[in-house]
Structure 1
């Protein structure tokens, strides 16, 4: 196990563990998973294809149709899920290391936030597993009616590379609580932690066939899941372009239910009354930032100062604030968008280049003199690129913020309660953050309007995505109460 340098010439105590889980339960081809810090191969991982998906779906279908998981009491499912969560806590450091070497996630963030949050998501839905119930209906005729909420069946989960652990459990946890069985395909860029979680699920007592993980590529394994006749629902997180293909495959196969969490180009709106220092902290995660004219120049100045102090480097270094892009492909995409911005006439204020002598690192980049019709404003970049734009009036910024095909989220920074209420009701997006950009909680539903998706994850809305409603009606003869 190699001890990692923290980038300052000294050694820290982080050791890269042996990669234990790289194979499916069935034999197949392999592909390389790459460390984005260096561009070097970490391990070779089993490459699942259509035949492997067929085998996994057969196992999931058998577990759903004849197995004990859907027929188990919600309390017992929840107890096993709690044990699963405890096992995640017991292995938090190794899991955080996997997401760091596989996807460039900051190790300190993964260890303190991402992995513990995943365990708590499991616990949240474990607590809901024995509280799934229907309603008693007051029928208008001599009838008695009630509803049942039942698991939807076999689910296909397709997760993204930007949140390998978080997205895995946002999908798997409510599906387990509902009593579903499933096939999970993690992004080919970040498969390692998903395979580890499958191992922990088995140790926790989740029956064979309930949770299956197929590693592989979207056009083969992913496409086989979305078009499979024995899968009852697909949950996909990724690009809008691929989301459209998922919907088409679902419609042309068995009309399976689809939930999609897709692209976004979320506006962050900063008003004149905002505290500039706090606004600067909030804007770190923003890419389309509108700043009111009264504070625009000062905000630009502070943003540049903050960006120049921003540390990019090895994600194992606790002082680093930004690690590498997850893959060479994404590295090239982000750099191409930066070139688009320069060609279209935006002013490159800072950054804009690769950094370091190896790996997929990009300097934090700020553009000004940006127009709303530029590609860097219209399209999702998924990299450290911010566009700063000036606005005058509330009416203007609402119109500009809504002038997008996306509607995932939006942020507002102001001390004016009436203003924040007005703007939050006017922005067409699934989540609005006021003075707390990118604050995510398990109890808060997350999902988009427009081309940002269908359905919601997290909260009890997330659980309902995996339940069917069945109505049961019986006659009541000679009732004196009707």
Structure 2
């Protein structure tokens, strides 16, 4: 599925019906207080939509609807075949609506529309399909016992789930959480990021069309410090899955501790290394992966490999090839199918990234390349790619998550130093290693302290592989794979005591 022209996407944008309400108990809902907030188009700075700022009343209503639907069993006790049917139908509806949803997401997030279409036309429905097909293939266990007992190990839905989403991959992150939670039989209250609420609201309407019972999926809109906090503190939510910053992840642990000790799954920040060992060839493919690792989604990616560790003798050649490759990666209109990089999510976030860059220069990082933003884009929150060389491990831009279009090289001497620098971080989400030696690849994969290691290509895996972090990047919970469903399930043991049966015909023991 591809776009043809900018005129095509602009025509779809002009015809869009943007959501304007939250979604509670199967229907659009306003905030009873009348409070509203605006979501902006980061490419133009213009107001895109006005949405309800959901407070305690709306969160309570959403949680009550989710609890009622869970308790009544309309979804939690539906047959596996029924839940599978609904999720497969939802996957088909998402595919059919993908062009409209992709344009909507591009408008609200600033992501290039081609990237949005790839995700929403492919990955998002694939998640609902994969977990839908997994429902009737997930088994419990029978523990080994003697003849005097039978022990069953059963997995049941955990109950009402709160899902709190980030703004960088709006509908994809919704699918990462909603597909396994719904497949497990849970009811969900989801809060999208206040910057990017529209496609999640549109997804809720498609879910009802697919046959999901009312109350099973609810969407409350508003900022994290109000609406998100209310979800974290709510005493009738059984589990929360959060993707976002480490700072806010800490708050959700506090919210759980001060309320009902709900289960909390966290996928947070990162400072992921891209490691080029001295036997690797600086091929065009390697350089493409290096650029993608740092600049995909304008660097607004928790697993971005901005911290690139290269042999000292190769650093200058490596940087020259990176800069040459960047000539074809200029920021542009996100609705243009030819655009490879959009704006930052907001003017405020752009200022935060710029502050990191200024601090890096002040600390002695060598500025190798600073791209240019077309003056015609001045109304938007654009920032061109920036490349630094000669970073040291102690520099703030080598330690702190920047979340912007920045690449910096840390030159090293030898494999041991490369590994030490790579692990010299409090984060542990992702790493990429380039080498032609499989022994070296496995050596690094086993010793890198992170949740995902990609070898000879930047990737986060696919729906089948779990994704999550170590250290300040996350908790034991995982998105994706069979492991994702585990955070939305409870384990129950049923121990059945058995008596030795009597053979009544013989009048004795069998």
| Band the TM-score falls in, shorter-chain normalisation | over 0.9
**Partner deviation per Cα, 1:260-293 (whole Å, 9 max, x = no partner):** 1000000000122223122211111220000112
Aligned to 2:171: 165
The question of whether the paired residues in 1 share the 8 Å contact of 2:18 and 2:49 is answered with no
Paired with 2:348 and 2:173, the residues of 1 have a C-alpha distance of 21
Residue 472 (structure 1) aligned with residue 479 (structure 2) = no
Q: 2:95 is paired with a residue of what secondary structure? A: helix
Deviation at 1:21, TM superposition (A): 1.4
Paired with 2:481 and 2:365, the residues of 1 have a C-alpha distance of 40
Deviation at 1:479, TM superposition (A): 6.6
Aligned to 1:334: 353
Residue 323 (structure 1) aligned with residue 342 (structure 2) = yes
Deviation at 1:358, TM superposition (A): 1.6
Aligned to 1:380: 401
Paired with 2:461 and 2:57, the residues of 1 have a C-alpha distance of 38
The question of whether the paired residues in 2 share the 8 Å contact of 1:159 and 1:167 is answered with yes
Deviation at 1:77, TM superposition (A): 0.2
The question of whether the paired residues in 2 share the 8 Å contact of 1:409 and 1:429 is answered with yes
The question of whether the paired residues in 2 share the 8 Å contact of 1:335 and 1:353 is answered with no
- 1:135 corresponds to which of 114, 129, 141: 141
Paired with 1:100 and 1:84, the residues of 2 have a C-alpha distance of 21
Residue 443 (structure 1) aligned with residue 468 (structure 2) = no
Deviation at 1:64, TM superposition (A): 0.4
- 1:344 corresponds to which of 363, 366, 386: 363
Which stretch shifts more, 99-108 or 137-146?
A: 137-146
Residue 144 (structure 1) aligned with residue 144 (structure 2) = no
The question of whether the paired residues in 1 share the 8 Å contact of 2:98 and 2:120 is answered with no
Q: How many residues align?
A: 475
Residue 242 (structure 1) aligned with residue 248 (structure 2) = yes
Aligned to 1:268: 274
Deviation at 1:175, TM superposition (A): 0.5
Paired with 2:351 and 2:373, the residues of 1 have a C-alpha distance of 10
Residue 14 (structure 1) aligned with residue 10 (structure 2) = yes
Aligned to 1:431: 452
Deviation at 1:449, TM superposition (A): 0.8
Aligned to 2:415: 394
Deviation at 1:352, TM superposition (A): 6.5
The question of whether the paired residues in 1 share the 8 Å contact of 2:188 and 2:217 is answered with yes
The question of whether the paired residues in 2 share the 8 Å contact of 1:142 and 1:479 is answered with no
Which stretch shifts more, 413-422 or 434-443?
A: 434-443
The question of whether the paired residues in 1 share the 8 Å contact of 2:278 and 2:414 is answered with no
- Identify if the C-alpha distance between structure 1 residues 155 and 13 changes in structure 2 by more than 3 Å, giving closer, same or farther: closer
Residue 293 (structure 1) aligned with residue 312 (structure 2) = yes
Which stretch shifts more, 34-43 or 345-354?
A: 345-354
**Partner deviation per Cα, 1:337-378 (whole Å, 9 max, x = no partner):** 111111111111111676532201111000112111111111
Deviation at 1:254, TM superposition (A): 0.7
Residue 49 (structure 1) aligned with residue 55 (structure 2) = yes
Aligned to 1:35: 41
Residue 105 (structure 1) aligned with residue 141 (structure 2) = no
Aligned to 2:288: 281
Paired with 1:274 and 1:114, the residues of 2 have a C-alpha distance of 35
Deviation at 1:442, TM superposition (A): 0.3
Paired with 1:30 and 1:107, the residues of 2 have a C-alpha distance of 27
Residue 26 (structure 1) aligned with residue 45 (structure 2) = no
Paired with 2:356 and 2:331, the residues of 1 have a C-alpha distance of 19
Paired with 2:267 and 2:319, the residues of 1 have a C-alpha distance of 32
The question of whether the paired residues in 1 share the 8 Å contact of 2:16 and 2:104 is answered with no
The question of whether the paired residues in 2 share the 8 Å contact of 1:338 and 1:352 is answered with no
Residue 419 (structure 1) aligned with residue 440 (structure 2) = yes
Paired with 1:328 and 1:157, the residues of 2 have a C-alpha distance of 26
Deviation at 1:12, TM superposition (A): 5.2
Aligned to 2:185: 179
- Identify if the C-alpha distance between structure 1 residues 19 and 351 changes in structure 2 by more than 3 Å, giving closer, same or farther: farther
Deviation at 1:133, TM superposition (A): 2.2
Aligned to 1:460: 482
The question of whether the paired residues in 1 share the 8 Å contact of 2:452 and 2:460 is answered with no
Paired with 2:195 and 2:409, the residues of 1 have a C-alpha distance of 31
Q: 1:452 is paired with a residue of what secondary structure? A: coil
**Partner deviation per Cα, 1:132-158 (whole Å, 9 max, x = no partner):** 321111235822211111000000000
Deviation at 1:37, TM superposition (A): 0.6
Deviation at 1:23, TM superposition (A): 0.3
Q: 2:154 is paired with a residue of what secondary structure? A: strand
Aligned to 1:311: 330
Cα root mean square deviation, aligned: 1.8
Paired with 1:93 and 1:13, the residues of 2 have a C-alpha distance of 8
Paired residues for 1:361-376 under 5 Å: 361-376=382-397
Paired with 2:398 and 2:164, the residues of 1 have a C-alpha distance of 27
Deviation at 1:296, TM superposition (A): 1.8
Paired with 1:474 and 1:439, the residues of 2 have a C-alpha distance of 43
Deviation at 1:186, TM superposition (A): 0.1
Paired with 2:93 and 2:442, the residues of 1 have a C-alpha distance of 42
Residue 220 (structure 1) aligned with residue 255 (structure 2) = no
Deviation at 1:259, TM superposition (A): 0.5
Paired with 1:430 and 1:396, the residues of 2 have a C-alpha distance of 21
